[in-house]
Structure 1
Amino acid sequence: MTVTASPHVLTTMPAEPPPGCPFDPPAGLIAARTHGPVSRLTFADGHEGLVVTGFDLARAILADPRFSSRKELMRHHPTVDYGDIEVPPAPPGEFLLMDEPQHGRYRKPLAGKFTVRRMRLLTERVEQITAEHLNAMEQAGPPADLVTAFAKPVPAMVICELLGVPYADRDRFQENIDIFLGGEASDEKLIAAYVATRQYLAELVAAKRAHPTDDVLSDLLDTDLTDEELQGMALILLSAGFDTTANMLSLGTFALLRNPDQLAALRADPALIDQAVEELLRYLSVAKQFYRVALEDVEIAGHTVPAGTTVILSLATANRDPERFPDPHRLDLHRRDGGHLAFSHGVHQCLGQQLARVEMRVALPALLARFPTLRLAVPENEVPLRPETSDIRGVKSLPVTWDA
């Protein structure tokens, strides 16, 4: 790689957080950031890629059309050598792994469905769903696993309603999404879960064609999108709209319980919730990293990035950049810096970010108000975390208890 300045070199892609800091980015990436916003990494197949840990640089690349999101162009696993296997393009409708104009063709008809106004209208239903699950938790009594009792079913119900997925099918898609996003399943199980989900979505789209209902998927039937494209779009919305929010609710609760001063501040001032949500999004960065590939030689941050170079954007580390956020490793619900990258940036910025915010703004205060003595039921170091191989940071379970 030709560079005009010599970047820091990583011998492997760091994965482990600092000891005793389950919410922090990998220790090796925090250390790399002290050498500058970009590091060099040799992938398992010999490809020389880059790892970006600085906020400004990550934000710039996310907004730069010279860096592609196309699935078939980039290497998604720096530690796995796939040899000469050619990666196919993303299936129709799965627009997160596409560039313009294909990306815009799928995103544009969806953009009007996730407006701030529509999400506000959904607030009352989110409040009802939240209350129903809190009622069930209270009735069952302590202890409880917050993941299965609350953090997963609330966003699952919301996204089901938004897309018109029947309630009875919620567990079916939730289980399969857990498999292919959890980071622990074998290749065989991953493929089986993906195929099962696509088959279910094919049935769902056919059902909407026959009997449209009041939901986003039915709204898209009037476009020129094919059934296969609708299935791919629905898959993206189901996985992105459910898994990330579910982990924000569980991991966010864990972070608050682990920082009692911040929990006390939120209990004392419920109006703090908007700032609290933004700070939790920054602090946790559950979508840990994105990938881009240079479409041409690009001069950036003093480096010439050759065409074809895969760039790993560590959003978790960028959101802890001390040049952007003072005292970045501290959870501070009064922080007013804003501008985090938890929802990405540029044309691929998360469509469902307003929905995620609505769910967090409703669910977290309701949980804390219903259970004033909520606390961990196990020592914090016994809370099982998702493996670092998972694309989404989170906990497998969160045992909690309270004074009945």
Structure 2
Amino acid sequence: MESKAIPLPLPREQVCPFGPPPEIEEIRQSSSLTRVLCPTGIEAWLVTRYADVHEVLGDSRRFSSRVGMAGHLLANQPPDAPVEEGDFNRMDGEDYLRFRRVMAPAISTVKRTELFRPLVRSTVDELLDGLAAEQGPVDLHQKFSNPLTSSIIAELLDVPHGDRELFRDLAKALFDSTIDVEALDAARLPLFGYLHTLVVERMRTPGEDVISVMAAKGKAAERPFTELELTKVAAGFLAAGFDTTAAAISYGILALLRHREQFSLLCDDPSLAPDAAEEILRLLAAGSGMLRVATVDTEVRGTRIAAGDFVVVSAQAANHDPARFTAPDRLDITRTRRQHLAFGHGPHQCPGQHVARMELVAVLAALPRRVPSLRLAEPFSEIEFKKDTAVFGPVRLPVTWDHVLPGS
């Protein structure tokens, strides 16, 4: 690296609530990549253009995931930590594909996701029925988004209701930059112990849940999966399902309430929900980028990158690249060009994206139709956004309404 590093631009929601910070545009216009100093002290090359982000994420031979996705933000996930058994998110090539072959049949196929759809829709309606009995204002994140996503992922893994608080604790710790390595390990230990028990039980007596399907596929694999490997995969699904999807739902609803004409379109035409989901994902996702490390001497857009250099790949900056999207900072749920990078790209594209999409679409099809009077209960300027975390969005979403219409 030859140039002086600038601080990594982080989301500043009160300035740009639904997009990257203003300096990203200036960085994107630069003829070369920009060197940045990250919150955890590492230096990296920042990649912001759509074409460049697409290139880096799609080439795991040149840009490895072994450093973890968030080591530039979270000190409890150091990029130089050893890759241990079952750490599939930090693997590349055939080692990672071995895990994808077990995960995909359990959660990503059309047949499996169609099995989940009635559960998602009924859970959304039940929660909206519950709101009808409430006196606003309420925190919609606490009363709706979080219960929705946590219930769905727990149902998919067949986790009893009484045991679900354990997973909320881990999800909160996993994405919190103020939690050190020891505290994170302390949060993981009881979860791993619990999930290990479930894995062993489902290996012996399989059902139709996600853990059972993965256990069966893992047992039949050319290199059979260990109990620890299956436990870590299950933990990864739970942590993501309990926090990241809920944050995306709350953040997306906030964006729609801030752009009332877009919310009204959904009130009038719920069939727009799939397009609205993709537009919300494009607008909001992955605000502080994903970490990679160069495995060979290479270059991106004329910038020489040495083997061992860190690279921060900003999917949100790419999703706001005017070379790819017309008026990219505008929320437009009728937008037709939707090839965003919110779930990443290439081998490490999010394996749970189909379920996350299904949940977001179900919410956008039902909530505006059933609660057309939904509105913020506090001025937008008083909405507090998450800090010291890799998962962004409002801390609380205070809303009120006049009435909740009955479900169909």
Matched residue of 2:133: which SS? helix
For this pair of structures, how many residues does the alignment match? 395
The one-letter amino acid paired with 2:358 is: V
> Is the 2:264–2:368 contact (alpha carbons within 8 Å) kept by the matching residues of 1?
no
SS in structure 1 opposite 2:16?
Answer: coil
Tell me how far apart the structure 1 counterparts of residues 13 and 245 of structure 2 sit (CA, whole Å). Answer: 24
- CA 288–14 in structure 1, closer or farther in 2 if over 3 Å, else same: closer
Query: Which residue, 49, 53, 63 being the options, matches 1:67?
Result: 63
Kept in 1, the 8 Å contact 2:136–2:399? The answer is: yes
Aligned to 1:100: 93
Alignment partner for residue 125 of structure 1, among 110, 114, 119? 119
CA distance in 1, matches of 2:56, 2:154: 33
Tell me how far apart the structure 2 counterparts of residues 47 and 149 of structure 1 sit (CA, whole Å): 38
CA distance in 2, matches of 1:46, 1:191: 22
Letter in 1 for 2:63: F
SS at match of 1:71: coil
Contact 1:181-1:390 at 8 Å conserved across structures: yes
SS of the residue corresponding to residue 342 of structure 2 reads coil
Q: In the alignment, does 2:273 pair up with 1:278?
A: no
Tell me how far apart the structure 1 counterparts of residues 37 and 278 of structure 2 sit (CA, whole Å).
34
Q: 2:9 aligns to what?
A: 14
Q: Deviations over 1:105-155 (max 9, x none)?
A: 111111122113321221111111111111112112322111111101111
In structure 2, how many angstroms separate the alpha carbons of the residues matched to 1:227 and 1:81?
Answer: 24
Confirm or deny that 1:32 pairs with 2:31.
no
3-state SS, counterpart of residue 101 of structure 1: helix
Tell whether the 8 Å contact from 2:6 to 2:36 is kept in structure 1 after alignment: yes
Deviations 1:342-392 (A, max 9, x none): 0100011111111111111112221222211100111112112110x3111
Q: Distance in 2 between matches of 1:348 and 1:300?
A: 20
CA contact (8 A) 1:91 1:232 kept: no
Out of 265-274 and 373-382, give the one that drifted further.
265-274
Counterpart amino acid of residue 328 in structure 1: P
* Structure 1: unaligned runs, 5 residues or longer: none
Which secondary structure state, in structure 2, belongs to the residue aligned with residue 251 of structure 1? helix
Relative to the length of structure 2, the TM-score reads 0.89
Shift in Å, 1:97: 1.3
Q: Distance in 2 between matches of 1:283 and 1:163?
A: 30
Measured against aligned partners, the alpha-carbon deviations of 1:228-254 in whole angstroms (never above 9, x if no partner) come to: 101111111112233221111100000
Which of residues 153, 163, 170 is equivalent to 2:164?
170
The gaps in structure 2 that reach 5 residues or longer are 404-408
TM-score by length of 1: 0.90
Cα 1:359–1:108 shift into 2, 3 Å: same
Aligned with 1:149 (options 143, 150, 168): 143
Contact preservation (8 Å) 1:37, 1:57: no
Q: 1:293 to 1:372 in 2, by over 3 A?
A: same
